[in-house]
Chains A and B, each alone.
Chain A
Amino acid sequence: MEYITSKDLDLVALLQQSHHPAAGAVVLFSGDVRNNNVGKMVDFLEYEAHTSMASKMIERILNDARKRWNLNIAIAQHRTGKVRITESAVVVITASAHRAEAYAANRYIIDRIKHEAPIWKCEFFTDGTKEWGGNCNCHKDTGNINKHIYEFEDIL
């Protein structure tokens, strides 16, 4: 599977491939582009990635999730290029015997992708301005650019 793609994410096709005879739970997370951020109206986003590093990192994150939970399916894809409002910028699908594992693993994977993978968004606002935005700011709290504060840690 291509972890980084400039093509539209086909959520329906990906979900169709994500059914497994031993899995009673399938969780699909789609990170959609919304029309507002920090009080400004967003026109569209443009994503850039260091493709080879981001791909390796996503593979590593998926493997780490497979070690932590008993998953039948774990996939993730992230867009590059222009992504419009309501389109999906990133998708994570996990499947497991029961829902607790699929939910927890899904949250772990998206959280680590957002903090760690060399992927960046540029927000283009309707007023014509643009901004490289939404940076991971964990270093302000951890004092270390390699240490992050993850949402999934709250639920483990």
Chain B
Amino acid sequence: MKIEVFAILKEYFDKEFEIKDPLKTVEELRAHLAFLNPESSNVLKICRFAVHDEFVADHYQLTGSDNVVVIPPSSGG
């Protein structure tokens, strides 16, 4: 699946990258990302995930063709 990250997460990961491991849920993806870069784990804990422009919950079932966006807490305004 393709992953895209924003803002502070770009300090831990490439802006876009691909994960080939067979991850089933958002919860597993969050843990996997923290495993790839342990320094990101505190930020990842408070990130939301989105697929097709909609936020998805931790139990959301991922497929290999999903484009997943990782959204840190907002800091607009």
Q: Do A and B come from one complex?
A: yes
Interface residues on chain B, size class: 10 to 19
With A113-B76, A135-B73, A139-B73 as given contacts, are A120 and B46 in contact (CB-CB < 8 Å)? no
Question: Do A50 and B75 touch across chains, with their CB atoms under 8 A apart?
Answer: no
- Complex: how many Å from CA A43 to CA B7? 19
How many residues on chain A are close to B (CB under 8 Å)?
Answer: 32
Q: Closest chain B residue to A47 by CB distance?
A: B76
Q: Which chain A residues (106-139) contact chain B, with CB distance < 8 Å?
A: 110, 113-122, 132-137, 139
Contact between chains at A122 and B7 (CB < 8 Å): yes
Pick the residue among A50, A78, A89, A139 that contacts B69 (CB under 8 A). A50
Chain B, Cβ-Cβ closest to A133: B75
* Chain B 1-53 interface residues, beta-carbon cutoff 8 Å to A: 6-8, 11, 46-48, 50, 53
